[in-house]
Chains A and B, each alone.
Chain A
Amino acid sequence: GNSVTQMEGPVTLSEEAFLTINCTYTATGYPSLFWYVQYPGEGLQLLLKATKADDKGSNKGFEATYRKETTSFHLEKGSVQVSDSAVYFCALVGQAGTALIFGKGTTLSVSS
């Protein structure tokens, strides 16, 4: 079945450091890929998405490229801020109308 694997956390960085959170997936067909962010005590917010191979999703300085050849959707940001501290979830949707399948989440902690 479909699944998402993302790197274990926590990830601890200093402000302005470069961020990479790895995400790989297993799916049949052509899934849509997402990154969600969850701030402490809150629900999930969509950070970015990509719906087909080679698409690059971007938002708030974060980027991820849908790589079908490596089945990956790694999240990157060139310069993190303290306010980026949160839990990041990689997710996919396989067939239309089905639920999101989430990775286990990666906690990011950024210090000033």
Chain B
Amino acid sequence: QVLLQESGPGLVNPSQTLSLSCTVSGDSISSGGYYWTWLRQQPGKGLEWMGYGFYSGASYYNPSLQSRLSISVDGSKNQFSLRLISVTAADTAVYYCAKSLPGGVHAFDIWGQGKMVSVSS
């Protein structure tokens, strides 16, 4: 059974950097064939895809976040991480990590429980 667990600070100051990690258990992140993905949901709003990374090091981002976002995959820790710079109150959200279906299908069948992050001084 594959499980994902987000971790990181729950409070970030405006203009600072938001960093979260997602620990994968039950599967090897280096096995390939999956999109290791971050999504978020602002309070009371819908879902927003942020981007995904691959074990190879490649990554792909939502154009609306591309200038501030980086996603990395670490096979040695079986984790993937999100880094969002220059945050504002608009980045307050529940952040989810997720794993895609195999074979290049961009649907997400395994999700973490979510990490609430507030941006406030």
Q: Do A and B come from one complex?
A: no
Which residues of A pack against B, CB within 8 Å? Answer: none
